Amino acid sequence: MITQQQLTAWLDTLCPMHVMLDATGHVTSVGPTLQKLRPDAPMVGQRFLELFELTRPRTVTNVAGLLAHAGAKLHLQLRDEPRTALKGVAVATGQGAIVNLSFGISVLDAVRDYALTNSDFAATDLTIELLYLVEAKSAAMEASRTLNQRLQGAKIAAEEQAFTDTLTGLKNRRAMEHVLSRKVTGPEPFALMNLDLDFFKAVNDTMGHAAGDHVLQVAARIMVEETRDQDMVARVGGDEFVLMFDGLRDKRRLGGIARRLIARLQEPVSFEDQLCTVSASIGTVISGHSCGRDPGELLQQADMALYASKRAGRGRHTFFDDTLTGCGQAIRHVDDAPSLPGGSAA
């Protein structure tokens, strides 16, 4: 003779979401997983139809109606929040009924909402296989996300490296050409400044390339300090730099920047108990103030202004100006500074 206690123990193992009802429809036993849905509200002793609402068939209002649909699929939901949807099937016991419930396709929501694990389901329940698949999918998706993040990071790093001068940390010629090509077709005004270090070759020849590299790094830091965040500083050659100033066409402000750069760059740089001495020649072209209509032409005009500064004695700043004798011919000096004595050409 099977006792009620034995039957309950078997049902807890085989059907952890069962409900056993007496003839009046009161719950006499509830599976551990089902009770986990309402851990603070014991179901034993409660009326089944006060805990669960049958959404299909809707005509069931008592145990007799429930037994009339024995063996048929039942659609239910808990009456209080969260109103978890359930599927079920009922069988008569002679003294009431047993209703076995499951989550159906809402199992993933239930697992999330109630923190269910494999131990909450019967060992043969296909839900366990589904949970394994979900866990595997989650692990695969997380691995994929991690890999994508690493690849994206590597891509960004590679792109950054492709546009960066490794010695100074400034943008390189490729980056400068990319930005300049975009600026010449845009509506915003800008100024382009070509800067060359005077007497830099003498530093390399007399003190070595390590000293020259140190001078370039110091010069790069000075140029960054004298420009705004939205401006661009690029090293485009050995000792040649290009600076671009967004929205800036005022000659007085540009001249002030050039004078500060020249003054700071001609200060001696200490390297291994020796002093490295250079200066800077600068040429500037302003968008809309020249005949330049493409990047190459603007760079050529800035270069012409730069070499006008060098011919005038170095350590000077010159604006390109075509208002006197025509495009590409008139160069007007507006900022002069004494050149450094001695040294060879840059």
CATH number where 186 lies: 3.30.70.270
pLDDT at res. 325 = 34
Residue 217 lies in a domain: yes
Give dist(CA 36, CA 59) in Å, integer. 28
Q: Which amino acid is at 115?
A: A
Does residue 111 sit in the same domain as residue 227?
no
Report the alpha-carbon distance of residue 87 to residue 100 in Å, rounded: 8
Burial of 46 (0-12, 13-18, 19+ CB in 10 A): middle
Residue 21: inside a domain = yes
pLDDT score at 200: 95
Residue entry with tokens 């350590």: 315
HSE (side-chain half, CA atoms, 13 Å) at 143: 6
Do 12 and 106 lie in one domain? The reply is: yes
Residue 133 lies in a domain: no
Point out the domain boundary residue: 61, 89, 124.
124
Q: Do 40 and 188 belong to one domain?
A: no
What CATH number does the domain containing 96 carry? 3.30.450.260
Distance in angstroms (rounded) separating the CA atoms of residues 221 and 168: 8
Same domain (yes/no): 115, 180: no
- Say how far apart CA 217 and CA 238 lie, in whole Å: 12
Single-letter amino acid code for the residue at 227: T
Picking from 94, 124, 154, the residue at the C-terminal end of a domain is: 124
- Contact (Cβ atoms closer than 8 angstroms) between residue 195 and residue 242: yes
Cβ neighbours of residue 268 closer than 8 Å, sequence gap 6 or more: 275, 276, 277
Establish if 24 belongs to a structural domain: yes
Structure confidence at residue 137 (pLDDT): 73
The strand pair at 279-286 and 274-276 is best described as: unpaired
**Which of the listed residues 124, 141, 162 is the one where a domain comes to its end?**
124
Give me the pLDDT at residue 221, please.
96
In this structure, are 119 and 193 located in the same domain?
no
179 and 104 within one domain: no
198 beta partners: 279
Tell me which residue of 131, 85, 101, 117 sits closest to 34, measured CA to CA.
101
Residues 240 and 120 both lie in one domain? no
* Rg, the chain, Cα only: 41
Q: Is residue 37 part of a domain?
A: yes
Domain extent for 15: 4-124
Per-residue pLDDT tens digits for 214-225: 999 999 999 999
Residue 131 forms part of a structural domain: no
Specify the pTM. Answer: 0.54
The rounded distance, in Å, linking the Cα atoms of 9 and 15 is 10
Number of residues assigned to the chain: 346
d(CA 160, CA 180) in angstroms, rounded, equals 17
| 134 belongs to a structural domain | no
| Active-site residue flag, 321 | no
- Position 173 scores a pLDDT of 93
Inter-residue contact 16 to 116 (CB < 8 Å): no
Same domain, 18 and 76: yes
Question: pLDDT tens string for the chain (346 positions)?
Answer: 778 888 888 888 999 999 999 999 999 999 999 999 999 999 999 999 999 999 988 888 888 888 888 889 999 999 999 888 999 999 998 888 999 999 877 777 787 788 888 788 887 777 777 776 667 777 788 888 888 888 777 776 666 668 899 999 999 999 999 999 999 988 889 999 999 999 999 999 999 999 999 999 999 999 999 999 999 999 999 999 999 999 999 999 999 999 999 999 999 999 998 999 999 999 999 987 544 468 899 999 999 999 999 999 999 999 997 642 344 444 444 555 544 433 333 3
Alpha-carbon distance of 284 to 256, in angstroms, equals 12
* Helix (DSSP H) and strand (DSSP E) numbers for the chain: 11, 14
Which one-letter DSSP state was computed for residue 295?
H
Two structure tokens written together for 198: 């005077």
Within-domain flag for 137 = no
> Looking at the structure, do residues 117 and 185 belong to the same domain, yes or no?
no
Residue 213 to residue 204: CA distance in whole angstroms? 9
Q: Are 35 and 93 in the same domain?
A: yes
Write the pLDDT tens digit of every residue in 8-65. 888 889 999 999 999 999 999 999 999 999 999 999 999 999 999 999 888 888 888 8
Number of separate domains in the chain = 2
Which of 198, 231, 239, 322 is an active site residue? Answer: 239
Same domain, 208 and 279: yes
Claim to verify: residue 81 and residue 190 sit in the same structural domain: no
